[in-house]
Amino acid sequence: MWIVYCIIIGLAAGVLGGLFGIGGGIIIVPALGLAFGFSQHKAQGTSLVALLAPVGLLALMNYYREGNADLVKGAWIAAAFFVGAFLGSKIALGLDEVMMRRGFALFLVAVAAYMFFKK
Protein backbone atom coordinates (compact mmCIF):
# COMPACT_ATOMS: atom_id res chain seq x y z
CA MET A 1 0.00 0.00 0.00
CA TRP A 2 2.89 2.35 0.67
CA ILE A 3 3.80 2.25 -3.03
CA VAL A 4 0.33 3.62 -3.87
CA TYR A 5 0.90 6.49 -1.42
CA CYS A 6 4.28 7.21 -3.00
CA ILE A 7 2.73 7.26 -6.47
CA ILE A 8 -0.05 9.59 -5.29
CA ILE A 9 2.51 11.92 -3.68
CA GLY A 10 4.68 11.88 -6.82
CA LEU A 11 1.74 12.49 -9.15
CA ALA A 12 0.45 15.34 -6.98
CA ALA A 13 3.91 16.92 -6.83
CA GLY A 14 4.35 16.49 -10.57
CA VAL A 15 0.93 17.83 -11.53
CA LEU A 16 1.20 20.81 -9.18
CA GLY A 17 4.81 21.38 -10.24
CA GLY A 18 3.83 21.32 -13.89
CA LEU A 19 0.73 23.38 -13.22
CA PHE A 20 2.26 26.10 -11.02
CA GLY A 21 6.00 25.78 -11.69
CA ILE A 22 6.73 25.02 -8.04
CA GLY A 23 9.37 22.75 -6.63
CA GLY A 24 8.11 19.36 -5.57
CA GLY A 25 9.37 19.77 -2.02
CA ILE A 26 6.46 22.02 -1.13
CA ILE A 27 4.18 19.03 -1.80
CA ILE A 28 6.40 16.09 -0.98
CA VAL A 29 7.68 17.20 2.45
CA PRO A 30 4.27 17.74 4.09
CA ALA A 31 2.79 14.75 2.24
CA LEU A 32 5.47 12.41 3.63
CA GLY A 33 4.69 13.62 7.13
CA LEU A 34 0.98 13.07 6.57
CA ALA A 35 1.18 9.72 4.73
CA PHE A 36 4.03 8.06 6.63
CA GLY A 37 4.49 10.07 9.81
CA PHE A 38 8.01 11.05 8.77
CA SER A 39 9.87 13.60 10.87
CA GLN A 40 10.65 16.91 9.19
CA HIS A 41 14.26 15.77 8.66
CA LYS A 42 13.31 12.42 7.15
CA ALA A 43 10.67 14.05 4.92
CA GLN A 44 13.22 16.57 3.65
CA GLY A 45 15.85 13.88 3.07
CA THR A 46 13.40 11.62 1.23
CA SER A 47 12.19 14.57 -0.84
CA LEU A 48 15.79 15.06 -1.97
CA VAL A 49 15.84 11.45 -3.17
CA ALA A 50 12.83 12.18 -5.39
CA LEU A 51 14.09 15.56 -6.61
CA LEU A 52 17.77 14.72 -6.84
CA ALA A 53 19.70 16.94 -9.16
CA PRO A 54 23.41 17.71 -9.07
CA VAL A 55 22.73 20.62 -6.71
CA GLY A 56 20.99 18.34 -4.19
CA LEU A 57 23.43 15.43 -4.20
CA LEU A 58 25.62 16.62 -1.31
CA ALA A 59 22.60 17.50 0.83
CA LEU A 60 21.08 14.07 0.12
CA MET A 61 24.34 12.38 1.13
CA ASN A 62 24.22 14.15 4.53
CA TYR A 63 20.58 13.20 5.13
CA TYR A 64 21.23 9.62 4.03
CA ARG A 65 24.25 9.22 6.33
CA GLU A 66 22.09 10.28 9.27
CA GLY A 67 19.36 7.78 8.33
CA ASN A 68 16.99 10.52 7.18
CA ALA A 69 16.36 9.56 3.55
CA ASP A 70 14.24 6.67 2.32
CA LEU A 71 15.74 5.86 -1.09
CA VAL A 72 13.03 3.41 -2.18
CA LYS A 73 10.09 5.70 -1.38
CA GLY A 74 11.93 8.66 -2.91
CA ALA A 75 12.51 6.72 -6.13
CA TRP A 76 8.82 5.76 -6.42
CA ILE A 77 7.80 9.38 -5.84
CA ALA A 78 10.31 10.55 -8.47
CA ALA A 79 8.87 8.18 -11.09
CA ALA A 80 5.33 9.37 -10.45
CA PHE A 81 6.51 12.99 -10.28
CA PHE A 82 7.91 12.62 -13.80
CA VAL A 83 4.50 11.62 -15.17
CA GLY A 84 2.62 14.14 -13.02
CA ALA A 85 4.76 17.06 -14.20
CA PHE A 86 3.86 16.27 -17.80
CA LEU A 87 0.15 16.13 -16.94
CA GLY A 88 0.27 19.32 -14.87
CA SER A 89 1.97 21.29 -17.62
CA LYS A 90 -0.69 20.17 -20.11
CA ILE A 91 -3.42 21.39 -17.77
CA ALA A 92 -1.65 24.69 -17.04
CA LEU A 93 -1.22 25.59 -20.67
CA GLY A 94 -4.99 25.45 -21.13
CA LEU A 95 -5.89 27.68 -18.15
CA ASP A 96 -6.40 31.44 -17.89
CA GLU A 97 -3.52 33.40 -16.32
CA VAL A 98 -5.67 34.94 -13.57
CA MET A 99 -7.08 31.53 -12.64
CA MET A 100 -3.55 30.13 -12.48
CA ARG A 101 -2.30 32.93 -10.23
CA ARG A 102 -5.25 32.64 -7.85
CA GLY A 103 -5.04 28.85 -7.74
CA PHE A 104 -1.34 29.05 -6.95
CA ALA A 105 -1.95 31.57 -4.15
CA LEU A 106 -4.68 29.40 -2.59
CA PHE A 107 -2.45 26.35 -2.79
CA LEU A 108 0.41 28.15 -1.01
CA VAL A 109 -1.92 29.33 1.77
CA ALA A 110 -3.22 25.77 2.28
CA VAL A 111 0.28 24.30 2.50
CA ALA A 112 1.43 27.08 4.83
CA ALA A 113 -1.56 26.53 7.14
CA TYR A 114 -0.90 22.79 7.24
CA MET A 115 2.78 23.26 8.08
CA PHE A 116 2.05 25.96 10.69
CA PHE A 117 -0.60 24.00 12.61
CA LYS A 118 0.99 20.53 12.32
CA LYS A 119 2.10 19.29 15.72
pTM of model > 0.85: no
Percentage of residues in the chain having pLDDT higher than 70: 97
pLDDT, average across residues 22-46 = 88
Q: State residue 55's pLDDT score.
A: 64
Nearest to 24 by CA among 48, 8, 40, 3: 48
* Distance between first and last Cα of the chain: 25
Q: State residue 24's pLDDT score.
A: 75
Q: State residue 60's pLDDT score.
A: 86
